[in-house]
Chains A and B, each alone.
Chain A
Amino acid sequence: MAVTDTDATERVEPEPLAAQDPSLSPVVDHGAVTTHSPVPKVVAHRAPETPADHVEREAARGVKLAKISRTGDRIFRSLATTSGLLIVLLVLFVGIFLLALALPSLQADQDSFLTSRNWTVSGNELRFGIAGLFWTTVLSAVLAMAMAVPVAVGVALCMTQYLHKRVSGPVSFVVDLLAAVPSIIFGLWGLTVLGPFLAPAAAWLISKLGWIPFFERNVDPKGSVFVASVVLAIMILPIVIAISRDVFAQTPRDHIEAALALGATRWEVIRTAVLPHGRSGVISASMLGLGRALGETIAVMIILTTPSAGSPFSPSIFAGGETFASKIANNAAEFDSPSKTGAYIAAGLVLFVVTFAVNAIARIIAERGVES
C-alpha cells in the first residue's frame, strides 16, 4: 500500500465559533467559560452517560485545530524530487555529451568506423575503426561468461540445495569478499601469478589445437586473451552467483516437494523443479555478468599485451589485443587534441551502448521470467 499524505491547501484558522451549528447544545459547566463569541448559555437536559465532569474548564464548544506549517513538507518534498530528477538528467547527459564529443571525430574519420582495424588518431588524418577492439572485447567477455556461468550455477545450487544454512552463510560471505577485491589487484595477480601458472595448460592446448586459427600461438601466454578471460570469469562470478542464488532460493516449495514425493534424487529435483523455474533468472544473471565483463577496464589493461602497431590481426585466444576499455585506459595520457579525444570517446560511446543493450536485455528477460 502506498502510504502518502495529501497536501493540505493553505493554512486557515478554524471556523469562528459563532458560525458553528447551533443545534448542538453544549454541556454547561459552572466555572469560568472562555468563549470567543456570544453563545447563549443553554442548560442541557440530557441523561448523564458519564460521571459529572469536575475539572473541565475548557471551552465546551468546538475544538481548536492547530495551524500547521507546511513549509517543511514542501521543502523536503522538493529536495527529494529534485534529487530524483537530477539523477535522470545525469544519465541523459552522459549519453548526450559522449555523443556530442564523438561526432566531430567520427565525421572526420577516413576509415569506416565499424569495420576498420586501424587506429591512427594523431596528426591530421584520422583513420580509426573499432573492429579489432570489438573482437577482443566480445571474445574475452563471452569466454569469461562461458567459463563463469556453469561454475556460478553450481555454486548457487550448492548454496541453496546442498548446504546447510549455517554453512552457506560463510560461503556467501566468501563470495561477497571476492566481489570486493579491486580489479587492479586481479590484474596484477593475473599477470604475475595466474599467467605463468596457466602457461603449461596453454601450451598443451596450443600443441593439440594450434592448427585452428582460433588457438594458434601468438604472444607470451600470460598476456593473452585466454588468461584475461579466466581472470574476467573469476571477477564476474560473484554477480552471477548472487542473482542465481536468489532465484533458486525462490523456487516454490510445492514444486520441490512434488518432485521429492515422487522419489526423485536430489539431482532430479534440481533438474525438474529448480532449474526450469530459475532458467530466466540464470540467463538474466549471465547477461549481467557479460555486461560487467564487457566493461572491465583495468584488469584487462594490465594483462593483455598491447599489439604493436602494424602487427597482423590474429583471432586467436592466445593473442594479445585491446578491448574498448583497455584501449582508452592505455592512452589516457594522450588526450591532447579534441579530434584525438573524440576518437576515444567514440570508442567509449560504443562501449556504453553495448553494455546498456546487454543490461537492458538482461532486465527484460528477468521481468518476463517473473511474469510467467
Chain B
Amino acid sequence: MARRIDVKNLDIYYGGFHAVEDVSMTVEPRTVTAFIGPSGCGKSTLLRTLNRMHEVIPGAHVKGNVQLDGTDLYGQGVDPVAVRRVVGMVFQRPNPFPSMSIFDNVASGLRLNGVKNKGVLTDAVERSLMAANLWIEVKDRLGKAGIGLSGGQQQRLCIARAIAVEPQVLLMDEPCSALDPISTLAIEDLIGELKEKYTVVIVTHNMQQAARVSDQTAFFNLAAQGKPGKLIEIGPTEKIFSNPDQQATEDYITGRFG
C-alpha cells in the first residue's frame, strides 16, 4: 500500500516568515528518499508538511500542494487528522507513551482510532513488532512499560507503533540522531526492509547514512543568509554523491561547508 508523493510548488510559512521556498519533487512508491543539508535549511519543515504536522504550530501554513497518488492533502475540507492516519511519522527522540505498556504503545494508534477487537489488536501488534525487528526481544514482556527499553529499542517501538496503523507513507525525522552506532545500524537495516512495503522519506544529518539507505536524495540549502530554504538538487543517490549537478551540492558532500 505504498503511495507516490508529488510536491508541487510548495512554499511554507510560519506566520509571516517564509521558511521554505518553491519546492517541487516526486517520491516514487516503495522507495527511500533522503533529505540532506545543513541545519536550519528547511528539511524537517518540509517533512512535516507531508503529514500536515507543521499545523500544530499556530500560524504555520503552506501555498502549493502535496499530493498522495493524486489526492491533494491540502484540498478543500481535508482534515489534517485524516492525513496523519495515512502518513505516519517517527521522531528524532524516541517518544513512547510513558503511561502505557509495550503492547499498549504499539496498539495505541489503532485503539485511539476506534479499533477494539482484542484479536485484531494482538495480530497487529505482533505483526508490527516483527516488522520493526523488535518482536523477539519483547515478546515475553509485552505488558511491561514502554519506557523501560533501551534507546534503540524504544525507537523501534515507535516505528512499530507508527506502522501498526498501516500508513501509506512513513516519514522519519532524524530517527537515529539520538541513538548509539549499533542501534543506528539496526534501524538502517530496518529501513531497508520497510521500503518493501512503505514509501519512506527520511531527514538525516548524516550523509553516510543517506548514502547507505536511500534510493533518492534531495539536497536543501538556504538560498542566501536570511533567505528561505530551497531545494537545490534532487536525484538518484548514487548520482548526488558521486557526480552532482550543482556546485553547492558538491561543496556540501565534500564537506566544504555545513
State yes or no: do A and B touch (Cβ within 8 Å).
yes
A residues at B contact (CB < 8 Å): 1-6, 8-12, 14-15, 17, 20-21, 24, 26-27, 49-51, 53, 56, 58, 60-63, 65-68, 70
Residue contact A21 to B70, C-beta cutoff 8 Å: yes
Residues of B within 8 A of A9 (CB): 77
Distance A26 CA – B4 CA, assembled complex (angstroms): 10
**B9 nearest CB across to chain A (Å):** 14
Quick check: is B156 within 8 A (CB to CB) of the other chain? no
Interface size in chain B (residues, C-beta < 8 A): 34
Report the bound CA distance from A49 to B30 in whole Å: 8
Indicate if the CB atoms of B31 and A50 lie closer than 8 Å. Answer: yes
CB pair A11 B70 closer than 8 Å: no
CB-based contact B70/A62 at 8 Å: yes
Q: B81 near A68 (CB under 8 angstroms)?
A: yes
**Does residue B1 face the partner (Cβ distance < 8 Å to A)?**
yes
CB of B77 within 8 A of CB of A10, answer yes
- B6 on interface, CB distance cutoff 8 Å: yes
Who on chain A is nearest to B81 by CB?
A68
Is the Cβ of A53 less than 8 Å from the Cβ of B79? no
Contact in complex: B80, A11 (CB < 8 Å) = no
Please determine whether B195 and A50 come into contact, CB atoms closer than 8 angstroms: yes
Choose among B29, B69, B75, B82 the residue that contacts A66 (Cβ–Cβ < 8 A).
Answer: B82
B215 interfacial contact with A, CB 8 Å = yes
Contact of B71 among A12, A20, A66 (CB under 8 A): A20
Residue of B nearest to A6 (CB): B55
In the complex, what's the smallest C-beta–C-beta distance from A185 to chain B, in angstroms? 38
Are A68 and B69 in touch, CB under 8 angstroms?
no
Interface pair A20/B76, CB less than 8 Å apart: no
Contact: A11 with B77, CB < 8 Å?
Answer: yes
Which residues on the A side are within 8 Å of B83 (C-beta)?
A: 65
Docked-complex contact A61 and B79, CB < 8 angstroms: no
Chain A residues whose CB sits within 8 angstroms of the CB of B30 once the complex forms: 49-50, 53
Q: How far, in angstroms, from A316 to B76 measured CA to CA in the complex?
A: 78
4 A-B pairs besides A3-B56, A50-B28, A65-B83 with CB distance below 8 A are: A8-B78, A26-B69, A62-B71, A65-B73
A-B pairs with lowest CB-CB distance, top 5: A12-B77, A20-B70, A50-B30, A8-B79, A68-B79
**How far, in whole Å, are A5 and B60 apart by their CA atoms in the complex?**
11
Q: Is the CB of A65 within 8 A of B82?
A: yes
User: How far does the Cβ of A36 sit from chain B's closest Cβ, in whole Å?
Assistant: 13
Q: Are A56's CB and B1's CB within 8 A?
A: yes
Q: Is the interface of B mostly helix, strand, loop or mixed?
A: loop
B contacts, CB < 8 Å to A: 1, 3-4, 6, 28-31, 55-58, 67-73, 75-83, 85-86, 168, 195-196, 215
**Closest beta carbon of chain A to B110's beta carbon, Å:** 13
Complex Cα distance, B215 from A301, in Å, reads 81
Contact A68 to B82, CB < 8 A, known contacts A20-B70, A56-B1: yes
How long is the Cα–Cα vector from A254 to B133 in the complex, in angstroms? 47
Neighbouring B residues of A51 by C-beta, 8 Å: 196
**A residues near B215, Cβ cutoff 8 Å:** 49
User: With the chains together, A11 CA to B80 CA distance in Å?
Assistant: 11
Complex A-B: 27 CB contacts under 8 Å: A1-B57, A2-B57, A3-B57, A5-B55, A5-B80, A5-B81, A8-B81, A10-B77, A11-B79, A12-B76, A12-B78, A20-B70, A21-B70, A24-B69, A26-B69, A49-B30, A49-B31, A49-B215, A51-B196, A62-B69, A62-B70, A65-B73, A65-B83, A65-B86, A66-B82, A67-B82, A70-B79
Verify B77–A21 contact, CB threshold 8 A: no
A5-B55, A58-B1 known; A50-B78 Cβ under 8 A: no
Identify the interface centre among A15, A17, A50: most chain B CB within 10 Å of its CB. A50
* Interchain CB contact under 8 A, B77 and A63: no
Chain B residue nearest to A1 (CB atoms) is B57
Whether A63 lies near B71 (C-beta < 8 A) is yes
Closest to B55 in A: A6
Q: How far is the CA of A193 from the CA of B246 in the complex (A)?
A: 88
Check A21 against B67 for contact (C-beta < 8 Å). yes
**Which partner residue on chain A sits nearest B6 by CB separation?**
A24
Which B-chain residue is minimally distant from A46 (CB atoms)? B28
- Given contacts A21-B67, A61-B70, A62-B70, is CB(A50)–CB(B81) below 8 Å? no
A3 contact set on B, CB distance < 8 A? 56-57
Assembled-state Cα–Cα distance A66/B84 (Å): 10
Shortest C-beta distance, B214 to chain A (Å), equals 12
Nearest to B30 among chain A residues (CB) is A50
B68 touching A63 by the CB < 8 A rule? Answer: yes
A4 to B57, CA, bound (A): 6
Chain A residue with the shortest CB-CB distance to B73: A65
Q: For residue B76, which residues in chain A have a CB less than 8 angstroms away from its CB?
A: 12
B120 CB → nearest A CB, Å: 17
Contacts of A8 in B (CB 8 A): 77-81
Which A-chain residue is minimally distant from B67 (CB atoms)?
A21
Contact of A6 (CB < 8 Å), options: B3, B68, B80, B85: B80
Contact partners of B71 in chain A: CB under 8 A: 14-15, 20, 62-63, 65
Residues of chain A contacted by B168 (CB below 8 angstroms): 63
A333 to B122, CA, bound (A): 65
Residue on A nearest B83 in the bound complex, by CB: A65
A65 CA / B74 CA spacing, docked (Å): 11
Minimum distance in angstroms from A1 CB to a CB of chain B: 6
Q: Do the beta carbons of A50 and B69 come within 8 Å of each other?
A: no
| Residues of chain A lying within 8 A (CB to CB) of residue B81 | 5, 8, 68
B56 — nearest CB in chain A belongs to which residue?
A: A3
A26 to B30, CA, bound (A): 14
A20 to B83 alpha-carbon distance, docked (Å): 17
Q: Nearest CB to that of A9 among chain B residues?
A: B77
B75-A14 in contact (CB<8A)? yes
Residues of B within 8 A of A10 (CB): 77
Contact between B79 and A63, CB atoms less than 8 A apart = no
B7 CB to nearest A CB, Å? 13
Q: Is A24's CB under 8 angstroms from B4's CB?
A: yes
